[in-house]
Amino acid sequence: MLKIRVCEDIEECRRIWELIWPQECIFDLWAIRDCFARAFNRPVKFIAAEESGKMRGALALSWIEEEGLFAQFPGETWKGKTWLEQNKIPAENSLVFSEMLAALPGRTHLRYLTPESIAWDNQSIELDETGYLFYPGQYNYSFQQYLHQLSKKFRKNYAKESSLLEAQGVSFRHDNISDAEHIFSMNIEAFKENSYFSDPRFLNAFENLTAWLHDKGLLRTTAVIIGGEIAAVDIGAVWGSHYTVLAGGTNPHFAGVAKMINFHHLEWSCEQRLEVVDFLCGDFGWKERFHLTPRPLFQITASPAGFAISESIHTGMSVNCEV
C-alpha cells in the first residue's frame, strides 16, 4: 500500500532528496539548493510517497510566509517568484503523482517544472517560461559553422561593434573568483532595486553558491577586459559536459560587449566539445536572435482541493541582456 508522509526535518529532507532526485543538471544537486536554503531560511515540508519500503516519489516544498503559499524547495524568491530552474517532481507513476498533490498542505505554486515532472497530468498544459540552450554538437563543435547560420546582417553588425571594442584592446580573464563581486555591483548599478542582488538574502545565496562552486572546481568566471577596464563578467558552472551561465553584468559604456561575452561562451563550449550550454529562462531580446534552442518549462498552481496547470509571467534576472 502506498503511504504518504510529511517531513519537516531538514536532514531527513536532504536524505529524501539525495535518495530519489534525478541528477541531470546543476540545479538537481542538494548542495546548490542548500546555498539558497541557508540564505532564505524557509521552513521545509517534503511530501514523500513510500511503498514496500521503497521511495516512490517526493515533492519538495518550502513555505513562503509573505506570499502565503508553498513553493519548490528552497523557496528562494524575488518579488514573489522563485528563480532556480529545472525543478522536478519525481514520481514512479500517475497514482504516486496524484496522491502527493492530494496531500498538499495548502496553496502551492511550483515553477520551472521540466516536462517529465508533469508527464502524469492529463490536463491541458500551458507554458510557464522558456529556457534557451546551445548544443555545440549540432554544429559539429565548430563555432564558425554556427556563426554562418546567423543572418549576414547580424554578423555584419556584430563585426562592426567588436572592431570598435577590439581597437581599445580586448582580453579575457577566467576563473578569478574576485571578478564575481563585479557582477553584483554591475547588476545593482544597472537595475537598482529591481536587481536580485539588492535583496541581501539573494546576494548571500549567490555568495554561498560561488564559494561552493569554486571549492568544488565547478566555477567558471569569465571577465572581458577592455582598455584595462572590466567591461563584462559572467558566473557559470561546469558540471560534467553541461555549462550553465548563472548570472552576469556589463558595463554600459561598452556597447556590444554582451554579444562578445556570449559568443565567447559559445566558442569555448565548441572547443571543449561540451554537450550543452544553458542560458536559463528569459529571452531578454537576444537569445532567439542567437538561434538558441528553446526549452519550455511549466508550472503548477495547486491547492488541497485540486490543481491546475496555468501560465505565468516571469521577471527574471537579466543575464547579459544588452544586445
Per DSSP, the three-state class of 75 is coil
CATH number of the domain that 65 lies in? 3.40.630
User: Would residue 77 count as lying in a domain?
Assistant: yes
Same domain, 290 and 150: yes
Instruction: Examine the pLDDT at 305 and tell me if it is beyond 70.
Output: no
Residue 85 to residue 87: CA distance in whole angstroms: 5
CATH number of the domain that 240 lies in? 3.40.630.30
Residue ending a domain, among 122, 145, 171, is 122
**Grid cell digits, residue 288:** 532567439
* Cβ within 8 Å of residue 317, ≥6 positions away: 78, 83, 187, 196, 247, 280, 282
Percent of the chain having pLDDT more than 70?
92
Same domain, 82 and 167: no
The residue segments making up the domain with residue 147 are 133-294
pLDDT computed for residue 126 by the predictor: 65
Same domain, 266 and 174: yes
Residue ending a domain, among 82, 103, 122, is 122
Same domain, 205 and 73: no
Residue 16 to residue 46: CA distance in whole angstroms: 8
11-70 pLDDT, tens per residue? 999 999 999 999 999 999 999 999 999 999 999 999 999 999 899 999 999 999 999 999
Q: What residue spans of 3-93 are helical by DSSP H?
A: 10-20, 30-40
Q: How confident is the model at residue 315 (pLDDT cuts 50, 70, 90)?
A: very low
Residues 241, 275 contacting (CB under 8 angstroms): yes
Instruction: Examine the pLDDT at 167 and tell me if it is beyond 90.
Output: yes
User: Would residue 305 count as lying in a domain?
Assistant: no
Considering its fold, how many domains does the chain have in total?
A: 2
Same domain, 138 and 118: no
pTM metric for this prediction: 0.90
Nearest-CA neighbor of 146 among 237, 271, 316, 315? 271
Same domain, 229 and 90: no
Q: What letter does residue 87 receive in the DSSP assignment?
A: B
Residue with cell 561546469: 238
Residues 138, 154 contacting (CB under 8 angstroms): no
Same domain, 216 and 268: yes
Q: How confident is the model at residue 80 (pLDDT cuts 50, 70, 90)?
A: confident
86-118 pLDDT, tens per residue? 999 999 999 999 899 999 999 999 999 998 888
Same domain, 287 and 187: yes
pLDDT computed for residue 245 by the predictor: 98
Q: How confident is the model at residue 282 (pLDDT cuts 50, 70, 90)?
A: confident
Least trusted range by pLDDT, from 5-14, 23-32, 150-159, 186-195: 186-195
Find the mean pLDDT for residues 135-164. 95
What is the residue type of 319?
V
Same domain, 230 and 260: yes
